[in-house]
Structure 1
Amino acid sequence: MKNVSVQVLDSDIALLLPNGVYQIKQMEAKSSRLKQICLFCLALCLFGIFGFGYFCPEKVCALKNPLPQMDDNIGKPLTLEKNKIGLSYDDMLNDDFSFDMDSHDVMVFLHMQKTGGTSFGKHLVHDLDLKRPCTCPLTRKRCYCFRPHSNQSWLFSRYTTGWKCGLHADWTELTGCVDEKLDELEDVVKRRYFYITLLREPISRYLSEFRHVQRGATWKGSRHFCKNRAATIDEIPPCYEGENWEGVKLDDFIKCESNLAANRQTRMLADLELVGCYDSKYMPKADRDRIMLASAKKNLQSMAFFGLTEHQKISQYIFEETFNLRFAIPFEQNNSTLSSTTITTLNPAQAAKIAELNKLDIDLYNFAKELLMSRFNKLKSRDDDFEERFKHLGVLNVRNNPTSFDWDKLDDSADIDRK
């Protein structure tokens, strides 16, 4: 009976749908293929998720999209996730981040070439009105800038600790090095780091570096250290043969693709681990430029203080109000430099090429100008005596005796900066 029923049913379907048997099989085949496609898509999605997580470094992927706007960090210590110091829970709850020289606060000066950092570094150790002024013995060729009640340094800079993290160490080098070096020099304590720096108009800075190299500067002592290793000669091929590049022509200076003078400020302020350090093959150039610029802007904004060479008076005021310290002299605005005379000799092709080579620095500098004025206006609005203060910057009624030190006798064989 069972066989008969099945045969009748098949016969009925065959009568109603002449191609019934074929159509049923076709539907079953479609359903099977659909399941296969769904499984394939699911597998592809899972592979993509795991593959993306494996092949895309976390820091790089985090910067693929534009960076979210962060609060201005004026006058506040630098916070780094990878830094073993960080801020305590109490620090985070307290928004009063005043620089405490009696505690374990440290200013870290990120000194970029040809930005006026040599003069500013001298102001820090020579011209601040301090309870315990820095002392600069000629026999040491460095200054002791100790806290009022201990022999620990409150300043990490060329003129106090020397180039402990490498000659003209950048953001990547300093943030991974400062704490370890201070632990070696002093007791191991929890410190708060207040990063400071100066920037300069990019074209003038580039030409100033050109003139400096033309006179024989090399900065061979720079380590270019990133991810626990120095950059290789393949990553930064030398632009010249011999001991230096003395007498180089501007066109040759421009042509060298590995010349670190181009976009130097952006590179020195960015976290280079995000872009594979100095490995230009790590990612496409467009991605590298975009990420490096975004990182430099973010890091600049996170600094407790930065100044602009072209705005000496405003920079001095911001520093003094930020750290509640006073300079005993007014900063000088010197717009007549070797680079300014060089600019007038450029032909249109040279000017256009230099601007193209430094387009990241130009963008960064425009960002810095806006941020500087924002900080200036913010501090000015809080200052009831602004007009009087600003008019008499560098004029003190009482000042401790200045440090006796002859800067002309300071000989740093690794790096002699000249404006």
Structure 2
Amino acid sequence: MRVCWRWKDSTYKYREQSAVRNGASAWRGSRAPRNFYYITILRDPVSRYLSEWRHVQRGATWKASLHVCDGRSPTTEELPSCYTGDDWSGCSLKEFMDCLYNLANNRQVRMLSDLSLVGCYNLSVMPEEQRNKVLLDSAKENLKRMAFFGLTEFQRKTQYLFEKTFNMNFISPFTQYNSTRASSVEIDEQTQKRIEALNFLDMELYDYAKDLFLQRYQYMRQKEHQEARRKRQEQRKILKAKQAHNKEQSDNTSTTDYIGNVEHWR
């Protein structure tokens, strides 16, 4: 098994999937084929947005990202830059939120959806409301089809699901860190609501993901309990059979001894 954990949007990811499989088969030669799984970890949209802002504020960029869709990268008209110069270091949260072309907005939906369904980065292909619905539906469908996904806010449950899904165990348990760079940012209610509005698609996706995640977790727990109960029942059956066998042996021995004594008394 090979798990592909990558920061690429689904548009590019699914286009390269067949190439990954074919290329892997080539260098493996005659060895048995392996399964490839794409997985992802989602995060509370507000926390994720603040974390990305802090990351950009420190000088991080995504200049190396090609944003390839339908075989080409977007033009500068389709995807204008939010800043001039080498990076956006030192930008304020207000500046970050004010950029209409900021890819931090609804990033999780964009990363999980197939952008080719909406004309990639060309916003004139369809009305905005229709575009948003198509992107959200695509992201939900792709997430549902993944063998595994986790949630940052549920580290232990994420570990449990991963281990049960792929039948492997981590060396040490996951730790839930509630103190992060994003949590250290204090924002007022108005800013909170604005971030939620900028990421309204991510907010809806996260609610969907959380519900699906907890369903999968509950299913795995029930399956584990059923398996444990089945093993206990099998063990009890084996124990009863062993006890019955021992009793039968004991009865046969007693009968044999009795017959032997009768013969002796004669």
Counterparts of 1:349-360 in structure 2 under 5 Å? 349-360=190-201
Deviation of 1:347 (Å): 3.0
1:253 aligns with 2:87: no
Give the 5 Å matches for 1:100-179. Answer: 101=1, 106-110=2-6, 168-179=7-18
Shift of 1:192: 3.8
1:309 to 147, 152, 159: 152
1:299 aligns with 2:142: yes
| Equivalence map 1:269-288=2 (5 Å) | 269-288=112-131
Partners of 1:293 and 1:249 in 2: how far apart? 29
3-state secondary structure, aligned to 2:121: coil
Over alpha carbons, which structure has the higher Rg?
Answer: 1
The residue aligned with 2:207 is: 366
Partner in structure 2 of residue 129 of structure 1: none
Distance in structure 2 (CA, Å) of the matches to 1:350 and 1:384: 45
Match of 1:208 in 2: 51
For residues 4-403 of structure 1, the aligned pairs below 5 Å read 101=1, 106-110=2-6, 168-181=7-20, 183-184=22-23, 187=26, 192-342=35-185, 344=186, 346-384=187-225
- Per-residue deviation, 1:219: 1.3
- 1:163 aligns with none
In 2, Cα distance between equivalents of 1:274 and 1:288? 9
SS in 2 for 1:366: helix
8 Å CA contact retained: 1:320, 1:326 = yes
Which residues of structure 2 form unaligned runs of 5+?
229-266
Deviation (angstroms), 1:268: 0.4
User: What is the aligned-residue RMSD (CA, Å)?
Assistant: 1.9
Q: Which aligned segments of 4 or more residues in structure 1 are displaced greater than 4 angstroms?
A: 188-191
- Give the 3-state SS of the residue equivalent to 2:79 in structure 1: coil
Q: Which amino acid aligns with 1:372?
A: F
- d(CA) in 1 for partners of 2:26 and 2:219? 37
- The Cα of 1:182 is off from its aligned counterpart by 5.3
**Contact 1:171–1:270 (8 Å) recurs in 2:** yes
Residue aligned with 2:36, SS: strand
**Cα deviation 1:369-394 (Å, max 9, x = unaligned):** 1001100011101113999xxxxxxx
- Matches of 2:15 and 2:36, distance apart in 1: 12
Compute the TM-score of the two structures, normalised by the length of structure 2: 0.80
Q: Deviations over 1:182-236 (max 9, x none)?
A: 5446517866432211000000000000000000001111111110111111111
Question: Partners in 1 of 2:194 and 2:154 — Cα distance?
Answer: 26
What letter matches 2:18 in structure 1? D
State the one-letter code of the partner of 2:154. H
Percent of matched pairs sharing the same residue: 45
CA distance in 1, matches of 2:61, 2:5: 21
Whole-Å Cα distance in 2 between the matches of residues 185 and 324 of structure 1?
Answer: 23
Q: Is the 8 A contact 1:380 1:386 kept in 2?
A: no
Q: Distance in 1 between matches of 2:64 and 2:76?
A: 14
| CA distance, structure 2, for counterparts of residue 385 and residue 337 of structure 1 | 38
Give the secondary-structure state (helix, strand or coil) at the position aligned to 2:149: strand
Deviates more, 1:303-312 or 1:178-187: 178-187
Counterpart of 1:354, as a letter, is I
2:157 and 2:15 mapped to 1: Cα distance?
Answer: 31
User: What SS does the corresponding residue of 1:246 show, helix, strand or coil?
Assistant: coil
- The number of equivalent residue pairs is 224
1:330 match: secondary structure: coil
